[in-house]
Every structure is written in C-alpha cells, then in structure tokens.
Amino acid sequence: MGFAFESLEDEILTRKEYQDKFIIWKIRAERYIGTVSSITFQNLVENLPQNVTPLNNTVSSVLTNQPRLPKLTLESFSGKDISSFPSFWARFKSAVHDNSNLNDVDKFSYLKSVVTSDAELAIRGLTLTPENYAKAVKILEDRFGRKELIGVDYHMNRLLNLSPVRKSFDVIALRKLYDQLEINIRGLESLEIFPDSYSCLLFPIIMKAIPPDLALEYNKKHNEKQSQVTDLTTYLHGEVESRERTEFLLKPHGSHSYPNKYSERAPPIYPQPNRKGQGPFAILPFS
C-alpha cells in the first residue's frame, strides 16, 4: 500500500493557513471588542463548516497555546492612498516594529491584522514565520514607501492640478485652495523635497489658480524681487485669514457659524414685560 505524501503535504498546508487566519482574526477581534474569552473561540471553532471539521482540534490547540498579545490601537493601511504610508509605518514602527518585547511572529501577526485591500494582497501568500516578517516589511516598503511615488507622483500631481478660484470673495474656496497647497507642500518637505527645488515650476501654476485681483496685488508688492512659492503661500495665507475675519465681523448678529452654548438658556439682558404687557418690570406669575 503506497503512502500519499502529496495528500499529507496539502493537509499540512491547509492546517497552517487556518492557524494563521485564526490568529489574525483573534488579534483583530481584541482590537475592537477587547479580550475575547476562550469560550467564544471554542464556539467559533465548533461552528466551522463541515469540510474543516478535522482541523478543529488543531485550531483549538493553537488558540489555547497562543500567548496573549498586548492590545494596541493601530492605524490600518489599505494601500489605496500611498501618501498615508509614511504616517502608518511611523506609528507601526514605534508601537510594534521597534518593540523589544515582541518577537517577529508577534510583529507579523500585528502587521497582518492592520493591512487591508491592496496592502493585504501584497503579503497574503506569506505564512506567520519570523523570516517572513522581514520579507513582508520589505514588500510593503518597496511597493508603498518609495519616495518617488509618494513625493512626485502623488503630491506634485495634486499641486499641478489645483482647482482655480475665480472670485476673491469666495472665502471658502480660497481656504480650500490654501489648505491643499499647504498639505502637499508639507508632504513633500517630509520627504526632503523642498519648495526651492520646484518653485519655478509651481509658482506660475499657483498664480493662475488664485483670483486675478489677488494675483495683481501680489505682483504690485513683489515686483522688485524674484518671488518663491513660500512668498506666495504666505501672501495667500494672510489674504485668506483677513477675509475670514472680515466676513465673520460683518455677519449679522447671531448668524455666524460659531454657536454660543449659553445662548438658548441665558436670560434676557433687559427686563421684559409679563404675558399681559403690564410694564417692563412686571414679574411673570409662577406656572
């Protein structure tokens, strides 16, 4: 009678996959609903589909013997917005990657629990082993952490495609334009790409994006020197804040967007007549 080695190998790989999946979902559950009791996991195991019934004992043993990992609040990363990878990795590196109390398997468990969508797909084929953790980190950094992708292809594209504002009294649109400038310029600076290196390219684009009267006023004030992007953004920031303050002060009383939490309960400043109009100092009867 021959021994089916291929069948045994498939069984081992299948069991390993289910072990990894249960460990990952265990971490995800603890992140959102706290520590999950072993009874809950036992019920989950018992309710598995019939085609994985033979693995129940193995999975239960893995969950029982798996050391309880500390609960950490971690930011997830999908890979859809590559500009968020630096902040994601900085937080994960501080909480997990550089944590000497965690081994590489624990770190890999945390990593798999916080990546979704494209990022999860990139490391899906790697099982939970110490060696694969280093491989997973390198895969994510090579795909989502490249400066040329985050810096040029993302931030520069957004700067080069700013939505123009045609009217200087449209304060909301001006504020949005300025915020978009600052967000992407700061993003480039965090990657050591500074405005001086692309000022000659971006300056005329910003000038075309701001209202004509603001562009004219800026040229009047800066006609004797070569302007930089930082000069223009500083000027735009001052114009936006001045218009916001003016708009707020010129609004009719009570119509501004900053509600007074005491306004509904505060008594009137001046004495009021009673319901029958019996003089300004009449006292209202108790109900």
CA–CA distance, 151 with 87 (Å, rounded to integer): 14
Model confidence, pTM: 0.48
**pLDDT given for residue 86 in this prediction:** 86
**pLDDT score for 175:** 96
Report the distance separating Cα 284 and Cα 37, nearest Å: 62
How far apart, in whole angstroms, are the C-alpha atoms of residue 198 and residue 195? 6
How many whole angstroms separate alpha carbon 31 and alpha carbon 111? 13
Rounded Cα–Cα distance for residues 275 and 255 (Å): 28
Alpha carbon distance 285, 282 (integer Å) = 9
Helix axes 5-33, 104-114, angle to 10 degrees: 70
**At 223, is the secondary structure helix, strand, or coil?**
coil
The pLDDT profile of the chain, 287 residues, written as one tens digit per residue, is 455 556 656 666 666 676 666 677 667 676 666 544 444 545 554 555 554 444 444 444 444 444 555 666 788 999 988 878 988 999 999 999 999 999 999 999 999 999 999 999 999 999 999 999 999 999 999 999 887 777 677 888 899 999 999 999 999 999 999 999 999 999 888 878 888 888 888 999 999 999 999 999 999 888 656 778 999 999 999 999 999 999 888 887 655 554 444 344 444 444 454 555 555 444 444 44
Interhelix angle 130-144/104-114, nearest 10 degrees: 40
CA distance 33 to 206: 47
Tell me which residue of 88, 93, 66 sits closest to 75, measured CA to CA. Answer: 88
Contact 136, 125 (CB under 8 A): no
Q: What type of residue is 44?
A: L
Q: Which of 14, 10, 17 is nearest to 112 (CA)?
A: 17
